[in-house]
Structure 1
Amino acid sequence: MSEEIERIKERKMREMEEEMKARVEGEKGKKGLRGQRQGQGHKIDHTLTLTDNSFVETVRKYPLIVVDCWAPWCGPCKMVAPVLEELAKEYAGRVVFGKLNVDENPRVATEFGIMAIPTLFIFKNGEPVDVIQGALPKQHLEARVKEWL
């Protein structure tokens, strides 16, 4: 079953990448959409808000990004939010942190098979490299992020 889920995730990521490439091709003449990653060197000291439409572009833009899949009614998600804001400040310039409201953005949540929240994905160079489920203490989240620096 997990192999099938992995194949589905890979297929969906490819589809989303193709969709993004098509969008980029339609943006000819606009700087920063092709070539090197825009996110390098930018010091973002807060969590970014991601959507179904911005997800692929954002994940590919930054060399290392942690995406928190959450919902406003989720108690554990509310516990993780301030921790992620702290980590965003502490790791500004090295790691970007983003939040995806799964209620408002069901496409990405469905494509990644998110069954519980909070679920955090770590992406390195546009590829998912780690998944964290549940509200872990700051030191545990930080340790997992440091593994990918």
Structure 2
Amino acid sequence: MSQAKDVTDATFQSEVLEATKPVIVDFWAEWCGPCRMLSPILDQIAAEHADKVDVVKVNVDDNPGISAKYGITSIPAVYVFKDGEHVATSIGAKPKPALEKEFAAYL
């Protein structure tokens, strides 16, 4: 079971933009192989850094509004939001050390 909470078009504002700590958002789809590879890595990050960051998932097929708003054209796309602003991006499946390095300022 994923550590990451599912977020929808309807809950994105409250769960991500109004969050009190940084939020890592995984834009993914069921049919995306690299997305499935990335999911357990993000679960590990969520568990290890739960005090500093939240990790959520947005299914791009089920939530086209938020995906379009942020211009998601390639998945997996991992965005970091802090204080309601998009502050970092990682595109594609990457190993855990690479993600931790990219997002070190928020972990």
TM-score (norm 2): 0.93
After superposition, where does 1:33-52 map in structure 2 within 5 Å?
Answer: 46-52=3-9
Quote the residue 2:25 is aligned against: 67
Q: How does 1:1-149 map to 2 (within 5 A)?
A: 46-59=3-16, 60-149=18-107
| Number of corresponding residues | 105
**Deviation of the 1:133 alpha carbon:** 0.5
Q: Could you tell me whether the CA contact under 8 Å between 1:62 and 1:126 is conserved in 2?
A: no
8 Å CA contact 1:63, 1:126 repeated in 2 = no
Distance 2:80 2:12 in 1: 13
Structure number with greater Rg is: 1
SS at structure 2 position matched to 1:131: strand
SS of aligned partner of 1:109: helix
Q: What displacement does 1:46 show?
A: 2.2
The 4+ residue runs of structure 1 with deviation greater than 6 A are none
Aligned-residue identity in percent:
40
What is the identity, as a one-letter code, of the residue corresponding to 2:105?
E
Unaligned runs of 5+ in 2: none
State the TM-score, normalizing by the size of structure 1.
Answer: 0.67
How much is the aligned-residue C-alpha RMSD, in angstroms? 1.3
Higher RCO structure, 1 or 2 (CA under 8 Å, sep 6+): 2
The Cα offsets for residues 108-144 of structure 1, whole Å up to 9 and x where unpaired, read as 0011111100001101111110111000110011112
Counterpart-to-counterpart distance in 2, 1:107 and 1:68: 15
